[in-house]
Each structure stands twice: as C-alpha cells, then as structure tokens.
C-alpha cells in the first residue's frame, strides 16, 4: 500500500559524508525511528537491506512559535547497506525560519576512526580530541563527548567482547582452551577443574563457584623447566582482583591449576626452591598446602617490607627511622647470602645500642628473609570479556619475545654502550701501578687483574627536569641543547622564531658549540 504522505525527494544516491554535511546544515532535529528493512532505494537485483531512519524537528524556535502544535517537518533517510548510498525525502515545513545549531553529525570515516582508536583502549575523551587534528574540525564543532562515548561503548560491547556476560565469557574460554595441539606461542586457557569431556569448567564469580581461569603458552612453561635454584617463582595478585576477598582456597586452586598444566606440557613436576609473595597469609598458606611435598624458601616482596617498616616505625624519631631504613636497604642490595647474613647481624647489633628500638628489633627478628624482586603491578578497568582477549594477546607477545635466561652474570647492552661512549671521550684509562705505590712494593698486585679508572662525564643542568644529566647518549644531548635553547631567543635565517623566553632578554645567536655526536649529522 502506498504512503498517504507526499514525500519530496531531497537527494538520491549521495555518499554518507555528503549526507552528513546536509544534515548538519539543517535545523535541529532528533531521531524517532531507526530500523532495517528490505531495500527499495537501489536498483540491485540481489535482495539486501537498507537502514530506514525518520527524523523530526527539535528546533526550539518552532516550539516557541506554535507551542500547542508539533512541527510538521519530517525527514526520511534511506541508507543502502550494499552500495552505501543515501536517499533523503522531506515532508512538511517548519513553523519558524529561525535556525538553531543542529546536531554535529559523525561521518562514516570519523566513525571508523573512533572504532580504530577504541581497539587501542583509548578513553572517549582522548578520542574526541583526536578527531580535531585528524579531520580538521574546530574545537567548537567537535561532536559531544556523550556521542563519542556511545559509539565507543557500543563497539566494545558488541565487537570487542567488552561485557561480563557469562555465556560469552565461557565460549571465549572454551574456544581457546588447551588441546595439546597448540603451537609453542599460541596462548591457551586452563582451569583447575574439567568435566567429563575435557572441557574446562568456569565458575560464575560467586563464593561457592569462583571464577578462575589461567592463561599461558607452551614456550612460557618450558622456559621455567630448569634448575629451581636459578629462578624465583613470583606470586602476585593485583589484576582484576579484590585482594581483601581473595581467600586461601582461591590461591590454592590457582596453584593447583598451574602445577597440573606444567606437568601436562613438560611431562615433569614443577620444581620450586624460591617463591616470592605478598604479605598475605592466604598466599602463604595456600602455597604451603599445594607444595607440601617440596622444600622451598618463601620470600616477601620488598614493597611489602617497606610498607610494614613504615607502619611499625611511625612512633620513632626521624634519626631512628632513618637508621632503620638504611639497614633494611643495605640488606636489599646484598650481593650474596653470606653478605646478607653479615649485614643483618651488623644491623641488629647497631639497633641494640638504642633502647627505643628494642621492640622493633624483636619484631624484625621474628620475620623471615627480607628479599626483593621488582614488582610492576598493572591494572586496567576493562570488562571481563575484553580483559581475557587482552591477556591472551599479551601471553602470545610475551612468549615470542622471551629474553635469554642467563645462569651467570652477564654484561648488559646498556653498560657496553656506556663503556664505548666513555672510551671515545677519553674518560677510561688503565690504572697502572707505579713502582712507588704501596701495592707494587708489597707485591699484592695480581698480574691477571686489570684495573680500569673511569672519570665521570660532564653533567649539564636541565631546568625542565630540575636536575642534571650526563652528556652521554644522543637523546640526552638533544635534551641539554633543548633546555639551553629555552633560555635564549633562537632566530634562523630560514625559520621562524620557535622558542622564546620573554622573562629574560639575551642577544640572538646560535649555540657556541655542539657535541661530538651532533657534528656528524
């Protein structure tokens, strides 16, 4: 049946960008209907769909002119889903000719750009600001933050798995579950319990059925198949967990799942000699329960050691507090167990000379070993579905970029680069013992030992950082020159003035000299 209204064709077969420009030039409107239906605006013979949108007037001037009657203006927008063309039909007239600013329409290219940035986990505010330089939009003409938020949240929820729906999460976990046929760098999931068909069981997050899923790769598990005395197993619980609700049973289930998966991949039991955990009784007791058949040393994270020191030393004076921190940090940087024991005895002996440290010394003696392994907690406010995808990708990337495991001290590349830089500047020299030196006369000099004397390089003040920096790396040299140029007006014959300090007037000129590394550019 034909429509009872007489629609006037406004445009036909235009692109989505041109249609967005036309809509932005109209009076203010609002969308009252949007649905998919069979296409009638295209001559294609294949059946396909089109998007039907109906817009009505939302102009304030029309409502003020005739307050008792709705504006009769309507706009019908037909978007072909196959050819991506737009047809517009108009019906009726506005009550008033006065215009109000219309809604800022987001074009198809802008929508794709927003979705690409949403894949990188950028917040909607940053995405909105990125639209300006990308498409040349004035700040006043940018779409509203609410519009960008709607696009980003809908895209994450429908396309990136940014939701907490249990059915979708279970499908994602089971789709990437361990099968034995996975590649070395293919990330897979595993749990502590499986059903009869070797399908991992996933809880619903309640107290009775906690949600527990592990992720790793074969390469990561095989990398830990080595002498247990050469590495430290690090336990951490900082990602997507409420540590106050993390109980002993949860930690035990996670450790059991890890131990079983290690045995399936490597064909041997997980050997642990040193384990580093938080100052948490649940972790400590759970590890003793799961690895009761192993002999290991449980170490405490240095962050929690310092936190406990801060808590226990609040009533001490500033001098005694500094003495306590000095002793603990000396223990942290001990290079061997013998040196650690020696420094600990010296520290306790020094503390014994102060009566105010008697109770604190008794507390420290009751604690276990104080050691540290760098803890870098990473947190992200992501939905569980998107978080699983991000962690699986992280496991795969980490597996392909495994660092070499050294069993002996090695020289890092940064030290080699620094040594070459010092040698080029003539700051390294061999310390030759002269005949008049006491070591030469006593005969204690080892002929196989070479003594190298290093002179520290020149340091330049960087006002922007409020500190000094060595003139070593090229990046540091650029930072030094940039800081020096901030305090003088730089005018080149071919360039405009770019760095000006109006608080201090100096003669115009170039830097008096440049470093050796920049002379070769």
Q: What does the DSSP 8-state code read for residue 95?
A: S
What local confidence, expressed as pLDDT, does residue 188 receive?
94
- Number of H helices and E strands in the chain, helices first, is 18, 14
What local confidence, expressed as pLDDT, does residue 490 receive?
39
111 phi, psi to nearest 5 deg? -65, -40
Question: Which residues lie closer than 8 Å to 208 by C-beta, 6 or more apart?
Answer: none
- Show pLDDT as tens, one digit a residue, over the chain (521 residues): 456 678 999 999 898 888 888 887 888 888 899 999 988 877 777 888 999 999 999 888 888 888 888 898 999 999 998 888 899 999 999 888 887 665 567 887 899 999 999 988 888 999 999 999 998 888 888 888 999 999 999 998 888 878 778 888 888 888 999 988 899 999 999 998 887 767 888 887 777 888 888 999 999 999 888 888 888 888 875 544 455 566 788 888 889 999 999 999 999 999 999 888 877 788 888 899 999 888 888 887 887 788 878 887 888 888 888 888 888 888 887 877 788 888 888 888 888 888 777 777 776 666 543 333 333 333 446 677 788 888 888 888 888 888 777 777 777 788 888 888 888 888 888 777 666 666 555 555 566 777 788 888 888 887 777 788 777 754 444 444 444 444 443 334 334 433 333 344 444 444 444 444 333 33
Cβ contact 16:107 at 8 Å: yes
3-state class (DSSP) for residue 370: strand
Cβ contact 165:156 at 8 Å: no
The whole-model pTM stands at: 0.59
What span, in angstroms and rounded, lies between the C-alpha atoms of 209 and 200? 13
Distance of CA 128 to the CA centre of its chain: 20
Cβ contact 462:483 at 8 Å: yes
Helices (H), 83-165: 108-119, 124-135, 145-158
Cβ contact 279:304 at 8 Å: yes
Question: Which residues lie closer than 8 Å to 126 by C-beta, 6 or more apart?
Answer: 117
Q: Which two structure tokens, joined as six digits, stand for 209?
A: 């059925």
Q: Which is it for the CA torsion 116, 119, 122, 124, positive or negative?
A: positive
CA of 159: how far to CAs of 155, 163, 319, in Å?
5, 10, 59
What span, in angstroms and rounded, lies between the C-alpha atoms of 372 and 300? 7
Question: Which residues lie closer than 8 Å to 327 by C-beta, 6 or more apart?
Answer: 343, 347, 350, 351
For 341, other C-beta atoms within 10 Å of its C-beta total 12
Q: Which two structure tokens, joined as six digits, stand for 354?
A: 């102060």
> Cα(first)–Cα(last) distance of the chain, in Å?
77
What local confidence, expressed as pLDDT, does residue 513 receive?
43
Cβ contact 299:276 at 8 Å: yes
Question: Which residues lie closer than 8 Å to 447 by C-beta, 6 or more apart?
Answer: none
């Amino acid at each position: 049946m034909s429509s009872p209204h007489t629609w006037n064709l406004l445009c036909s077969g235009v692109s989505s960008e041109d249609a967005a420009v036309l809509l932005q030039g109209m009076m203010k409107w609002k969308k009252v209907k949007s649905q998919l239906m069979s296409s009638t605006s295209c001559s294609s013979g294949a059946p396909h769909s089109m998007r039907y949108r109906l817009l009505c007037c939302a102009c304030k001037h029309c409502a003020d002119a005739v307050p008792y009657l709705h504006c009769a203006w309507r706009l019908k927008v037909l978007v072909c889903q196959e050819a991506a063309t737009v047809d517009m039909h108009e019906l009726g007239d506005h009550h008033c000719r006065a215009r109000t600013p219309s809604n800022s329409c987001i074009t198809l290219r802008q929508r794709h750009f927003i979705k690409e940035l949403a894949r990188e986990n950028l917040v909607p505010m940053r995405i909105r600001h990125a639209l300006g330089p990308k498409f040349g939009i004035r700040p006043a003409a940018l779409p509203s933050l609410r519009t960008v938020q709607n696009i980003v949240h809908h895209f994450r929820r429908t396309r990136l798995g940014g939701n907490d729906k249990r059915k979708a999460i279970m499908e994602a976990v089971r789709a990437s579950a361990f099968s034995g046929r996975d590649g070395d760098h293919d990330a897979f999931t595993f749990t502590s319990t499986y059903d009869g068909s070797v399908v991992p069981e996933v809880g619903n997050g309640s107290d009775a059925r906690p949600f527990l899923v592990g992720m790793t790769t074969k390469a990561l598990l095989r990398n830990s198949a080595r002498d247990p005395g050469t590495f430290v197993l690090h336990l951490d619980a900082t990602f997507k967990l409420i540590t106050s609700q993390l109980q002993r049973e949860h930690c035990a289930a996670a450790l059991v799942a890890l131990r079983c998966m290690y045995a399936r991949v490597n064909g041997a039991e997980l050997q642990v000699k040193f384990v580093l955990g938080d100052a948490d009784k649940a972790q400590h007791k759970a590890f003793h329960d799961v690895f009761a058949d192993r002999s290991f040393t449980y170490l405490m994270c240095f962050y929690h050691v310092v936190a406990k020191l801060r808590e226990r030393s609040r009533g001490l004076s500033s001098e005694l507090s500094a003495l306590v921190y000095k002793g603990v940090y000396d223990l942290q940087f001990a290079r061997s167990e013998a040196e650690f024991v020696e420094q600990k005895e010296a520290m306790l002996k020094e503390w014994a000379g102060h009566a105010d440290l008697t109770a604190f010394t008794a507390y420290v003696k009751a604690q276990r070993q104080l050691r540290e392994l760098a803890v870098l907690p990473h947190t992200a406010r992501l939905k569980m579905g998107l978080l699983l995808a991000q962690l699986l990708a992280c496991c795969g990337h980490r597996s392909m970029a495994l660092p070499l495991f050294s069993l002996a001290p090695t020289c890092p590349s940064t030290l080699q680069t620094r040594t070459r830089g010092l040698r080029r500047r003539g700051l390294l020299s061999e310390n030759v013992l002269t005949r008049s030196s006491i070591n030469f006369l006593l005969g204690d000099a080892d002929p196989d030992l070479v003594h190298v004397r290093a002179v520290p390089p020149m340091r330049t003040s960087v006002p922007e950082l409020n500190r000094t920096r060595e003139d070593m790396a090229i990046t540091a040299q650029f930072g030094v020159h940039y800081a020096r140029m901030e305090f003088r007006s730089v005018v080149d014959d071919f360039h405009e003035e770019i760095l000006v300090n109006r608080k201090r007037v100096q003669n115009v000129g170039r830097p008096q000299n440049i470093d050796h590394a920049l002379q070769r550019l």
